[in-house]
Structure 1
Amino acid sequence: MKASSVEPASSTRGWRLRTKLIVSMLLVGIVPLLVGLGMAFWQGSREINEVSGESFKALATEAARKLDILIGDEISRTARIASDPLIIKELERRRDVVQNQSASAATAAEDQRAKWDSADPVTVKTITENPIAGLLHEYYTGARSEPGEIIPQVVRGATKMLFVTDVQGHLAAALTTKPKFDNGGTAWWKGAYNKGVGQLYIEDVYFDNLADTYVFSISMPIMDSLRYEAVGVLRRVIDAKEFFAPSTHPIRFGKTGHVMLIDSRGIVISCPILPTGVSLSDASLVPLVTPRQPGWTDAPSDGHGGRSASIIGFAPLPETSRNTNGSLELGSWHTFVWQSSDELFGPIRHLLTWMTVFALIAMALLATLGYLAATRIVTPVRQLQQAAQSIGRGELRQTIQIKTGDELETLAEEFNRMNRQLEAAFAGLTDQVTLKTQEVQYLRESTDQILDAVPTPILIIGDDESVQYVNRTGREAFDLANSDLKSPRLFEILPLGTSQQQQIRRELLGLTARAPAEPAAGTETESDTTPVLRDPLAPQLNQDAEDHRAELQLGDHLYRYQWFRVSGRPGEADRVGLVLRDTTEESRMQENLIQAEKSGSLGILTAGIGHELNNPLFGILGLGEAIQEEGDLGRAKSYAHDIVQHGRRMASIIRDFTGVATRESSDQRQTVPLERELDLALATLAVGMDISALTIERCYAGDTCVNASPDQLRQALSNILLNAVQAMRGRGLLRLTTVTTGATASVTITDSGPGIPKQHLSKIFDPFFTTKGQGEGSGLGLTVARRIIRKFGGDIRLESVEGQGTSCVISFPVHPRSASSKEVSCTVSDTRVMSQP
């Protein structure tokens, strides 16, 4: 067997298979293990969360019930004070005095308010030591409490203000001098008095400047002896922290667990940690813990400044919330049960630690077992690897001996069979190599024949600008058949100027520097481009007229060239090919075509100027003849004025055709009444021809305005009217109509002439096309009219029925000054229209 040059594989590759087997066994064992442990941890965490959450929910519900009872007892005590007969009788007397002496009572109340605000001793004594105040003091101290009722000292100490107002909200009695005298405009008084109907009103927690603390209040209406209407309001202002602390602060669990009371805004009412009046640190937590029903939630924060996840139980105070601000939805109080995350999730973290330890032990066992199993597999595989290397070198002399009783033993037998077959196959390999060499030689000769048959020069160029191949057409074109050059350079074959040589070198360098996988370069390369002034009448035949064209001038011949890539032989770099195409005759034909286009464009331009100047010129001639015979000086001045107008129109036409009007179009446009310009165009037409036999019918929408140049618009209308009058040969009905529809103004010029044949309608706007006889028209009137109308944003179309007449419909964008809907006025005239000055 012939030896090969295959290098022996590294012996360390056997460890790669062993590593893969170990990793595979680890994955097979660890993935189910980790999934099982993860499921167990997830289930355990969920159950711990649910147990903790339900416990917090129950604790919050029980705390809410106790606080509801506490507030209910305080409401009951306040209601007993408000139903005291002596207080009711005194307030009824005050009400009767106010009703009988309204004016004097108002004055007295204003005087008493001023004295109260100035701490007048007499007034203060009158309010704080009157009979109602005495009764309030007895209730406050418990002297008038019911038998067996014990008023907690904390309730007595939490009451910061206790006072009574009359039906006007004026202070009637108080225990201290803190209350304001006039309370009729406050929210709590309006809520409790309720327009005389009366209702319980509990005010949300707020900071009271008079009490200098956060308080809430219980306002109770005092009804008359018949329980028909309210005769006053009893208000108790209570320190929120002192009132609720004895009920909420003792409820503790664990090291940090506690119960707090908040309102629906997230304001703390009572908490062992947070001060009363502050908001929860996380505003997004408020809607999670203030629903209508008790519950618990996995919160993103703990509401006490911590940002870790937490479990929070909550429950509303239903009875209290029903009276807070008079609305359960907008004002409600809730208990808030919380425990720090470290303490709450401690059992879960402990569970995770033990599960991690168990997983590590399991991974170590799996890795040990995987190593032992992989060793039993890798050893015979390594023997097969060494045998394969020997076969590659042609050195295998002994058969492979593997006795494992499985697929590895079968694979060793296949290796032995393959070795014997290779020895037999190498014997006939030399003959096949000879046949392949002959086949390659045939393909090379066929390729040369194909390239020689191509009628354009083709060059193959190497990296050093050496020409490695030229086809037969190229050898004949560049006279290389008798050349002595063995390996000619590119620019020895192509005698180019310096600038073209630099261009070709840049392109060639760019192609050879590209990756072989890139597509072959086209005919264009990146180069500096400079704007070139071009003849406006010269047509642009293709995009290459302005962009860079890949052309080379070689003597009298002009060549277009294109690059292509040629794949190199194995181990060699790719080469670049160049295809040249002689375009000398093509370029000459193109230049002749451009000159013909220029001549045709100049003819159209000249004919257009002549056509447009004829109409005003005929008007000037007619008016000049009229002036010669006119004896009336006023009429002669009118004719002279019209001659000046025609002259200006001719100047405008010249500016328009020479390009000046295009540059000044933005300055010439103005608001033009469409009906006036239509009449002026008709008057101008009447100067140069006889229209006395025409019947002219006008149906105008009113003052229809468009944005245009008056002279050019009149010129377009004159051309259209001239065609209509000539079609009727001066006799018939000419109808002029203007209509405004939405944002569009339309002009319709209808004649009763013979109409236009159907086969001519599609060509009626083409330059020099006319249906008139020889010498009657140039065929440019409608062409110019359409160009002017479209310049001002309008459009024009013809509708004709042969034998019945023609209608020309012109539409413009209507100017905002025109009304969207106008009355149409119609007039009929059968007399000659005179020229207007």
Structure 2
Amino acid sequence: MDTAHSDSPVLRESSGEKGGIRTGLKNKLIWTMLGVGALPLVLAMILSYLQGTKSLQGVIGASFKALAYETSTKIDLLIEGEISKNIRHAAHPIIKSVIQDFNQTLLDPVTRQKNIQEQSRNPSSAQPLLAAETVLQGFQKRKTPSALATRALYITDAFGVLRASVNDFPEFLHTGKPEWEKTLTGGKDFVYIGPVTFNEKTQSFLMPFAFPILDEKEKTIGVLHHVFETKEFFSGYMEPITFGETGHVMLIDSRGMVLDCPILPTGFVLPDPVLVRSVTGKNPDWVKTMGDGHGGEELSIIGFSPLEQTRKWISGSDGKTWYTFAWQASDELFAPMQKLFSWISMAGVVSVLLIGGMGSLAAKKIVQPIRRLQKAAERIGRGEKVEALEIKTGDELEALATEVNLMNDLLQKSFSGLENQVLKKTEEVLYLKEYTDSILRSVPDAVAIFDPNLKIEYVNGAFEKVVRQTADQLQGHSLIDLGLESTPAWKVLQDVLLNFYSEVVPISSRTMGNQTIQCYTARDPLAPKESPSLQSMKQTVKLDGKVFAFQVFDVVIHDD
């Protein structure tokens, strides 16, 4: 009983320790490897994606900037060529002579005012300048893009009076109009490029140009007017510039009004003032903006460039600076970035899985020897014989296995010595028991030994003969429980035992398990008690007609 009670708490504690292990060493190693390996990898991939996205945006922005600048240079050359051509037209001898003749006839203010009023009331009364008109019409014979985009080509004299035209588009009197006034007073090198405005007569947006007509002294004597339909003038040069499905270049002015675009109509004003300010800088550049001017609100990359040469002429005309605007839809533009993100994400997932798999294999190789050591330690703790462990890892685990084997050998030797001692002691106990039993059996007197509860533990053969029962029948019973004959006599013996037991005083007590053990002093049963008369010790009882003398004494039950 004592052994069972002392061992059971140890077993419960061991099982509790195993139950408290929620996460094994293998799982900890795997998670550690994932944390150490995957976290820097993921951070590196995120940084790579951000840097790659930034670099890609920079490349796209630089490409858009270059495209916008190239287109602006191309449009500058187009405008410059058109200006050079019209300056040559304004210097045509017939045009110059006709304007000079009319100016001479109208030098008298009274006559000039009278003729202007009369011709204003009845334009048909004015004699057409057939020669000048023929020259102007000759300028338009070649079906060039600018000729096809022309809506008006005419000349006015120094007094703003219409003198020749290729059609009936222009008004008769231009006095007070900015294109006539600025050109007439601007000097020999002045070129007027007016703002793009909507014309009710043609139901389109028109772009006016004006050039001075100079005499031999390079004095302005008249004005050559050339009016173009804006979209038709630029579309042949700009709209073919496309890339991808939505990428294109368009032309806007500093107000954000569209001059030409493959998607937006001419005259459309970009609704976002922030966007307009972003793409109308002084120098070619590219920007990232929220919104694209085409109805989208996503992040967009836009390249822009002012028309440098044209800006010089427009600034003198108080017009609006023109800009090229390179754009592509965000979905299409950022598709490479999305693809890059997908590839990086896939690479990250695969890398994490590889790290996890390799970590699992590495953890398995590390944990297996530890588990073998753990099982060996458990068996050694239970006292089982364990064979020597063979762990060849070349590290601390191998050294630990060597120490465990050494400990196991020492314990086995200790256990062998203890077993020999136990066997020797057991043999001694068995010998003493047999010796004691032989003595008790050889004693002619009836002998019975009782436990602290006064239950029979041992009887010799003489006692068996007295009660006529075997030792197996008697063990574990008190004298009055046996149902023996002469019950009163046996009850007397039982009472004597009780009285004697109550007088025995233990010398000490100790606790073993959950039991308190009383320790008694041993006494030689053959030594007489200290009393005035030995006769007073003699007690008798009559059993089955025979008189028996009996004596009760105590023996050692437990020893320290």
Fold conserved between structures, TM > 0.5: yes
* Separation in structure 2 between the aligned mates of residue 214 and residue 270 of structure 1, nearest angstrom: 10
Q: What does the per-residue CA deviation read over 1:567-618, in whole Å, with 9 as the maximum and x for residues that have no partner? A: xxxxxxxxxxxxxxxxxxxxxxxxxxxxxxxxxxxxxxxxxxxxxxxxxxxx
Cα drift, residue 239 of structure 1: 0.8
**Aligned partner of 1:287 among 253, 271, 277:** 277
| SS class of match (2:152) | strand
Q: Which amino acid aligns with 2:173?
A: D
List per-residue Cα deviations over 1:204-251 (Å, max 9, x = no partner).
3221223321121111111233113x2221111101111111111222
- Map of 1:669 onto structure 2: none
Q: Deviation at 1:332?
A: 2.1
- Offset of 1:161 from its aligned partner? 0.9
Task: State the identity %.
Answer: 34
Q: In the alignment, which of 21, 26, 30 is matched to residue 22 of structure 1?
A: 30
**Structure 1: stretches of 5+ with no match in the other structure:** 142-150, 388-395, 414-426, 428-837
Partners of 1:61 and 1:314 within 8 A in 2:
yes
Q: Which residue of 2 aligns with 1:324?
A: 314
Amino acid of the residue matched to residue 243 of structure 2? F
For residue 537 of structure 2, what is the aligned residue in structure 1?
A: none
Measured in 2, the distance between the counterparts of 1:29 and 1:243 equals 62
**Judging changes above 3 Å, is the alpha-carbon distance between structure 1 residues 178 and 409 closer, same or farther for their aligned structure 2 residues?**
same
1:338 aligns with 2:327: yes
Letter in structure 1 aligned against 2:116: A
Is 1:37 the counterpart of 2:27? The answer is no
Paired position in structure 1 for 2:115: 108
Amino acid at match of 1:337: A
1:337 shift after superposition:
2.2
Alignment pair present for 1:171 and 2:162:
yes
> How far 1:12 moved relative to its partner?
6.2
Secondary structure class of the residue paired with 1:266: coil
> How far off its partner does 1:316 sit?
2.5
CA distance in 1, matches of 2:121, 2:303: 51
Partner of 2:96 in structure 1? 88
CA change 1:190–1:19 in 2 (3 A) is farther
Quick one: distance in 1 between partners of 2:159 and 2:32? 89
With over 3 angstroms needed to count, the CA separation of the structure-2 counterparts of 1:206 and 1:335, relative to structure 1, is same
Aligned counterpart, 1:276? 266
> Contact (CA 8 Å) 2:199, 2:205: kept in 1 or not?
yes
- Give the structure 2 partner of residue 133 of structure 1: 133
- Cα pair 2:119 2:125 within 8 Å, conserved: no
The whole-number CA distance in structure 1 between the counterparts of 2:253 and 2:192 is 16
> Which one of 197, 209, 213 corresponds to residue 206 of structure 1?
197
Of residues 159, 173, 197, the one that matches 2:150 is 159
Cα shift readout 1:661-689 (whole Å, capped 9, x = no counterpart): xxxxxxxxxxxxxxxxxxxxxxxxxxxxx
Distance 1:242 1:309 in 2: 31
> How far apart in 2 are the matches of 1:327 and 1:112?
30
Partner of 2:67 in structure 1?
59
Q: Write out per-residue CA displacement over residues 758-817 of structure 1, whole angstroms, 9 at most, x where no aligned residue.
A: xxxxxxxxxxxxxxxxxxxxxxxxxxxxxxxxxxxxxxxxxxxxxxxxxxxxxxxxxxxx
> 1:189 — aligned with what?
180
Q: Which residue of 2 is the match for residue 233 of structure 1?
A: 223
Q: Which residue of 1 aligns with 2:520?
A: none
1:13 CA displacement = 4.6
Q: Offset of 1:409 from its aligned partner?
A: 7.4
Is the CA contact 2:193–2:317 (under 8 Å) kept in the aligned structure 1? Answer: no
Q: Structure 2 stretches of 5 or more lacking a match?
A: 1-5, 405-510, 512-560
CA–CA separation in structure 2 for the residues paired with 1:269 and 1:209: 17
> SS state of the match for residue 219, structure 1?
strand
Tell me the SS of whatever aligns to 1:322: helix
Cα distance in 1 for partners of 2:96, 2:40 equals 80
Matching residue of 2:552: none
How many residues end up aligned between the 2 structures? 386
1:188 Cα deviation from its structure 2 partner: 1.9
The residue identity in structure 1 corresponding to 2:282 is: R
**Superposition RMSD in Å:** 4.0
| Alpha-carbon distance in structure 1 between the residues aligned to 2:317 and 2:348 | 56
Aligned to 1:493: none
1:375-774 to structure 2, matched below 5 A, reads 405=396
Q: Classify 1:195/1:309 alpha carbon distance in 2 versus 1 (closer, same or farther; 3 Å).
A: closer
Q: Return the offset for 1:199.
A: 1.7
> After superposition, what is the alpha-carbon deviation per residue over 1:134-189, rounded to whole angstroms, capped at 9, x for unaligned?
33222232xxxxxxxxx443222210011222223232222222222232222222
2:250 and 2:325 in contact (8 A); partners too? yes
What TM-score do you get using the length of structure 1 for normalisation? 0.41
Contact 2:182-2:317 within 8 A present in 1 as well: no
Q: Distance in 1 between matches of 2:354 and 2:323?
A: 54
Which amino acid in structure 1 is aligned with residue 305 of structure 2? A
Decide whether aligned partners of structure 1 residues 35 and 87 sit closer, same or farther in structure 2, where only a CA change above 3 A counts. Answer: same
Describe the shift of the 1:103–1:44 C-alpha distance in structure 2 as closer, same or farther (beyond 3 A).
Answer: same
Q: Deviations over 1:551-576 (max 9, x none)?
A: xxxxxxxxxxxxxxxxxxxxxxxxxx
Aligned to 2:242: 252
What does residue 314 of structure 1 align with? 304
CA distance in 2, matches of 1:179, 1:264: 28
Distance 2:293 2:16 in 1: 70
Structure 2 counterpart of 1:81, which letter? H
Contact 2:198 2:205 in 1 (8 A): yes
Tell me what 2:211 maps to.
Answer: 220
Q: Per-residue deviation at 1:261?
A: 1.8
What residue is the counterpart of 2:344 in the other structure? 355
TM-superposed CA distance for 1:377, in Å, is 5.6
SS in 2 for 1:303: coil
Counterpart-to-counterpart distance in 2, 1:26 and 1:208 = 71
CA shift, 1:408, in A, is: 13
Q: Distance in 2 between matches of 1:27 and 1:107?
A: 98
Greater length-normalized contact order (CA 8 Å, ≥ 6 residues apart):
2
Which residue of the partner structure matches residue 294 of structure 2? 304
Whole-angstrom CA distance in 1 between matches of 2:96 and 2:41: 79
Structure 2-normalised TM-score?
Answer: 0.59
Query: Contact 1:260–1:270 (CA<8 Å) still a contact in 2?
Result: yes
Shift of 1:372: 5.1
Contact 1:281 / 1:304 at 8 angstroms: preserved in 2? no
1:266 maps to which of 234, 249, 256: 256
Partners of 1:338 and 1:109 lie apart in 2 by: 51
Whole-Å Cα distance in 1 between the matches of residues 341 and 207 of structure 2? 47
Could you tell me whether the CA contact under 8 Å between 1:63 and 1:248 is conserved in 2?
yes
Amino acid at match of 1:67: I
Alignment check: 8 A CA contact 1:208 1:214 kept: yes
Match of 2:233 in 1: 243
**1:18–1:378 contact (8 Å) kept in structure 2:** no
Q: 2:19 — aligned with what?
A: 11
Question: What's the CA shift string for 1:392-414, capped at 9, x where partnerless?
Answer: xxxx9999x9x99569979x99x
